[in-house]
Structure 1
């Protein structure tokens, strides 16, 4: 099922929502809790239909805003894969130290084995964070249209069942598609861009790794990126709330007069 088939389903759901609203308005039943849903569903149906027809406008708007802000996905992917390569290089160097220490007799009582093993775990954590960032980036870059369409589909469901979550998905797709490639620039502004702070060398001394490399990686691959992603998440929630208008709820309980 492609994007335009989902848009067709969304349009059908929008029409269904509209006609359910008109049906409720026409019911000769004096139930205020039910009657109040008539105008809401009619409005929701019209609004969802507008969102369906604005789908390509959303995509065009993302590109235009991204161009204004300097969004460049190719540069971002080059940066993040280079970052992962640097982390792998550091891991390989530390692993060589560990292999050298454990190859000698009585290595289990060597006091350096424990700290180096801990460093391996830390750098593995860095690579896991970067790998997760790559997965999220690939998902957003390749499927931003699908994410927005699913959001529209959820918002088109009658009685606002998926309205809040649908708006959040639209906001997530839009904000992260524009903002995520700007992460390297954000890190550079705070002097936390690892690719600008250190250069990959064929060998590192243990003291350099402990006193320079690890602190830089903690700041540049964990703390600052997580702070930036948190800001994007907060902004996407705000955009999603603005698009959805309100939280989702079911038309129950009914207030009988």
Structure 2
């Protein structure tokens, strides 16, 4: 038995019970009045049962007349949610950057306040949206449930039923109109922060001449020498950038890659549509020994054979001109290089520092010929790489790392737009809901009496 059938049977039961009370041969006016009330309520609930389709049709009609479009509302919520998530990630990044450069104590309280405002706005917007979607999805069930509660005899659940129907009708029509309300109220005021260029996602890989991943490479993006971002590949040579957390440029741009002091430049292609960019950077003159330990191969060298076991690398090199190869390790590591089975003497030693890591490079000269090279490294330790990551969203939102206070006014406006105004609008809808519920529930102007003409 479905809900509407049960509601109809309850209305029939109330009608019969009301007639029975009115027909009782007892001189009690209260009993007669109760019987009359049951008859009125039963007819009213029966009318609601048969008007179920009409109620749902009225909701659809009023929504179309008022311009309530759930698709547009969902798009509006998605855009605002994405922007709030980007702002949240951006100010977290600003907090990390300012702490690394020694200004954390100056900006920490301000950034914390901004993050709290963004989080509150995000929570409010998502809460209203989730509740609204639940009401929209279950509107048919909720209306039928409200009719069933109204049909319960003696008005035991009439108020609850009237409130369920009212809140379903009002919010199904009203919530999609919230963006129009906010736009109308906030028109002509300060513009909220927005993306100055599109933000995409990307999955990048970086490999050496043999396709082995190069870990902890630093990549920077530029457009006409204008800095865009700085990221670090993980130890597996992979960089995953999500558009909702860090962001990556959608358009073609120049990237500069640093690997243990080596610098390379590439043209990074743009991503098409909503597809995530998947791109691999090939470093043709480097071979990986271990994390941030590398072998540089000079020009005129062909790697005929390649074998790598833990800390040992074996190469058969065919050399066609005077050239070299070099091994770059951290300063505390120990290195042994054998060329054709004999311990090789380096022709040049280079010492340098890269991101506070001390390196030593050993260069070995080669003349034309075939060489069997064995490289064995005893890794003492791996110094942590300390790189100041600057996500692309800072550039896309045009936020200054050293002046986050300038964005405080925009965030305050956005807090009003996405927290205060939605709460005011929901309050207005609740007020209307209360009035409709009173009309259905029969507190002041009882609609039941007008419908049954009693």
Alignment of structure 1 residues 90-101 onto 2, 5 Å:
90-101=87-98
Q: Does the CA contact (< 8 Å) of 1:175 and 1:232 recur in 2?
A: yes
> Quick one: distance in 2 between partners of 1:209 and 1:192?
20
Q: Give the counterpart of 2:37 among 35, 40, 44.
A: 40
Classify the secondary structure of the residue corresponding to 2:106.
coil
> Quick one: distance in 2 between partners of 1:55 and 1:135?
25
Relative to 1, partners in 2 of residues 1:105 and 1:223: Cα closer, same or farther, differing over 3 Å?
A: closer
1:210 aligns with 2:429: no
Alignment of structure 1 residues 43-192 onto 2, 5 Å:
43-103=40-100, 110-191=105-186
Stretch deviating more after TM superposition (16-25 or 74-83):
16-25
> Quick one: distance in 1 between partners of 2:70 and 2:418?
18
Bigger relative contact order (CA 8 A; separation at least 6): 1
The aligned counterpart of 1:244 is 441
The aligned counterpart of 1:227 is 424
The root-mean-square deviation of aligned C-alpha atoms, in Å, is 2.2
TM-aligned CA deviation for residue 192 of structure 1: 5.6
Relative to 1, partners in 2 of residues 1:95 and 1:236: Cα closer, same or farther, differing over 3 Å?
A: same
* Deviation readout 1:125-169 (Å, 9 max, x if unpaired): 111101101211211221111221111111101001111221121
In structure 1, stretches of 5+ residues that fail to align are 248-257
> Quick one: distance in 2 between partners of 1:117 and 1:223?
20
Q: Does the CA contact (< 8 Å) of 1:192 and 1:224 recur in 2?
A: no
The aligned counterpart of 2:309 is none
Q: Does the CA contact (< 8 Å) of 2:117 and 2:415 recur in 1?
A: no
More strand by share: 2
More helix by share: 1
In structure 2, stretches of 5+ residues that fail to align are 197-392, 445-454
TM-aligned CA deviation for residue 104 of structure 1: 6.1
